[in-house]
């Protein structure tokens, strides 16, 4: 399975790295639909080229979003799978081979710093009002459509019927015996927030992160961390093999294991949310069609259809009202779970990610 999260992590760390892209040569688009399609004098293009991460996620988008969008509007959707360096190089040269960018809100913020996204006219996104997307996820240049949660997973047969309820329990290797697994920065942001929550910091007081305190707490657990995972499936593999009893995990990763009978469960208390969203490339040739696809994708009915096809959590609060109780119960964005977690402060992370990653790598090596 391809992960939209991995696409985000594979971009570049920090605004400094992005700035260097201005000098990069042109990079040809990979994937399909690389030819430019003029929007014409009236902006009425019949094609839109969208960047997404492909894989199982891309297949779900094709089924739940792109195909029905084309059927309704007559606008063909072509897909390219590009890394951030490729996209920025093309935009810098004024010839982006794509129009709509499906990426993390953090990466969109990095693109804004490089003047790589069009400023949005939200009046052209008619579904915004009905979707009830959190206000802090609607920016001048991007709008969130979904999020993924990073949370705790554990084996239900490991603790004599007891269930870990908090990150403090994750750190309690005497009360909840067994090895742990946490993520490597190649997979996602270092998990400093979880360490601070384990040490008693209230969820609404996390930022700005107390970095020294977080690393001190991480050090208390270091000898019990069997492996740092660098891909979405790995925590599930470690849990399935009983190599660890608890791991941090992307919340949508457990469903397949549970269907296979593996005794694993998630704990969403203190889950970290990171949103994915849409932005329009600076100089996009098919901007009008990009607006139409964005508007269509954000409709609650469409967001709900995608959630039934792929384990992502709609940003639209209204979308959850269109799902059954069983369907909602699988999603970290459901009303009964949402307030258990927190939003990653992407502005703090953009400023500090490079330094934190360097320190994390030194810490992990011991």
Judgement on whether residues 120 and 25 belong to the same structural domain of the protein: yes
**CA atoms of 221 and 226, how far apart (whole Å):** 10
Indicate if 43 and 73 belong to the same structural domain: yes
Burial of 357 (0-12, 13-18, 19+ CB in 10 A): middle
358 token code pair? 């360097």
- Domain hosting residue 293, numbered range: 4-147+274-338
- What the block records as the tokens of 317 is 């609060």
State how far the Cα of 338 lies from the Cα of 272, in Å rounded to an integer: 10
What is the rounded distance in angstroms from the CA atom of residue 289 to the CA atom of residue 26?
A: 25
pLDDT band at 16 (very low <50, low <70, confident <90, very high): very low
Average pLDDT, the chain: 89
Average pLDDT over residues 310-317: 93
DSSP code at position 123: G
Residues 94 and 39 grouped into a single domain: yes
Of the ranges 26-35, 147-156, 282-291, which one carries the lowest mean pLDDT score?
26-35
Decide if pLDDT at 306 tops 70.
Answer: yes
Note the pLDDT of residue 44.
Answer: 55
Q: Which residues pair with 115 in a beta bridge?
A: none
- Report pLDDT digits (tens) over 163-209: 999 999 999 999 999 999 999 999 999 999 999 999 999 999 999 99
pLDDT of residue 144: 98
- What gap in Å lies between CA 185 and CA 356, rounded to an integer? 9
Cα separation, 277 vs 68, in Å, equals: 20
The reply to whether 123 and 137 lie within a common domain is yes
pLDDT category at 153 given cuts 50, 70, 90 is: very high
Give yes or no for a contact between 306 and 65, defined as CB atoms under 8 angstroms apart: yes
CA atoms within 13 Å, Cβ hemisphere of 206: 22
The verdict on 217 and 299 lying in the same domain is no
* Other Cβ atoms within 10 Å of 83 Cβ, number: 16
pLDDT digits (tens, 9 = 90+) for 352-366: 999 999 999 999 997
- pLDDT (average), residues 223-240: 95
List of residues 6+ apart from 225 with CB closer than 8 A: 179, 180, 181, 182
Q: Which of these ranges, 38-47, 210-219, 254-263, has the smallest mean pLDDT?
A: 38-47
What DSSP string describes 272-293?
A: EEEEEEEEEBTT-TTHHHHHHH
pLDDT, tens digit (0-9, with 9 covering 90-100), for 259-294: 888 999 999 999 999 999 999 999 999 999 999 999
118 and 14 co-located in one domain: yes
Query: Same domain for 15 and 136?
Result: yes
Asked whether residue 8 carries a pLDDT value surpassing 80, the answer given is no
In this structure, the answer to whether residues 250 and 224 fall within a common structural domain is yes
Angle separating helix axes 346-365 and 211-221, nearest 10 degrees:
40
With a CB cutoff of 8 Å and minimum separation 6, the contacts of 283 are: 91, 94, 95, 96
Local structure of 127: helix, strand or coil: coil
Label residue 35 exposed, middle or buried (CB < 10 Å: 0-12, 13-18, 19+).
Answer: exposed
**Nearest alpha carbon to residue 148 among 339, 336, 341, 350:** 341
| 222 pLDDT more than 80 | yes
pLDDT of 4 > 50? The answer is no
Residues 215 and 361 in one domain: yes
Q: Is the peptide bond before 208 cis (omega within 30 degrees of 0)?
A: yes
- Domain total for the chain? 2
Residues 223 and 164 in one domain: yes
Residue 305, pLDDT score? 97
> Do 128 and 194 sit in the same domain of this protein?
no
In this prediction, residue 27 carries a pLDDT of 33
> Residues near 1 by Cβ (< 8 Å), separated by ≥ 6?
55, 56, 57, 232, 233
- Say whether pLDDT at 7 is over 80: no
Percent of the chain with pLDDT over 90: 81
- What is the Cα 135 distance to its own chain's centre? 18
pLDDT higher for 165 or 32? 165
For the domain that residue 21 is a member of, what is the CATH number? 3.40.190.10
Instruction: For 44-82, write each residue's pLDDT tens digit.
Output: 569 999 999 888 889 999 999 999 999 999 999 999 999
| Residues 168 and 31 placed together within one structural domain of the fold | no
Length of the chain: 366
Residue 45: the pLDDT is 64
């Amino acid at each position: 399975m391809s992960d939209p999260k991995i696409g985000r992590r594979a971009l570049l760390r920090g605004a400094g790295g992005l700035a260097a892209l201005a000098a990069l040569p042109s990079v040809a688009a990979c994937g399909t639909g690389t030819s430019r399609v003029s929007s014409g004098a009236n902006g009425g293009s019949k094609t839109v080229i969208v960047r997404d991460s492909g894989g199982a996620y891309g297949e779900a988008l094709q089924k739940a979003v792109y195909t029905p969008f084309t059927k309704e509007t007559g606008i063909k959707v072509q897909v390219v799978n590009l890394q951030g360096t490729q996209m920025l190089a093309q935009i810098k040269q004024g010839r982006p081979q794509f129009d709509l960018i499906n990426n993390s809100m953090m990466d969109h913020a990095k693109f804004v710093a490089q003047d790589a996204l069009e400023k949005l006219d939200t009046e052209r996104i008619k579904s915004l009002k009905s979707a009830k997307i959190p206000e802090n996820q609607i920016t001048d240049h991007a709008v969130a459509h979904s999020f993924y949660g990073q949370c705790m997973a554990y084996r239900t047969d490991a603790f004599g019927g007891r269930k870990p309820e908090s990150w403090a329990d994750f750190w309690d290797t005497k009360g909840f015996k067994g090895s742990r697994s946490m993520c490597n920065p190649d997979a996602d942001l270092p998990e400093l927030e979880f360490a601070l929550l384990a040490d008693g910091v209230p969820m609404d007081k996390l930022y700005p992160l107390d970095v020294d305190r977080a690393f001190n707490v991480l050090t208390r657990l270091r000898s019990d961390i069997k492996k740092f995972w660098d891909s979405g499936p790995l925590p599930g593999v470690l849990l399935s093999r009983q190599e660890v009893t608890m791991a941090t995990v992307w919340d949508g990763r457990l469903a397949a294991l549970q269907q296979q009978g593996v005794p694993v469960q998630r704990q969403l208390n203190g889950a970290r949310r990171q949103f994915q969203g849409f932005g329009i490339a600076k100089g996009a040739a098919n901007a009008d069609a990009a607006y139409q696809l964005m508007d269509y994708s954000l409709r609650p009915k469409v967001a709900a259809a995608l959630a039934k096809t792929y384990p992502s959590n709609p940003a639209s609060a209204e979308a959850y009202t269109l799902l059954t109780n069983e369907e909602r119960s699988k999603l970290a964005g459901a009303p009964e779970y949402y307030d258990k977690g927190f939003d990653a402060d992407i502005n703090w992370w953009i400023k500090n990610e490079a330094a934190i990653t360097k320190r994390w790598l030194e810490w992990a090596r011991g």
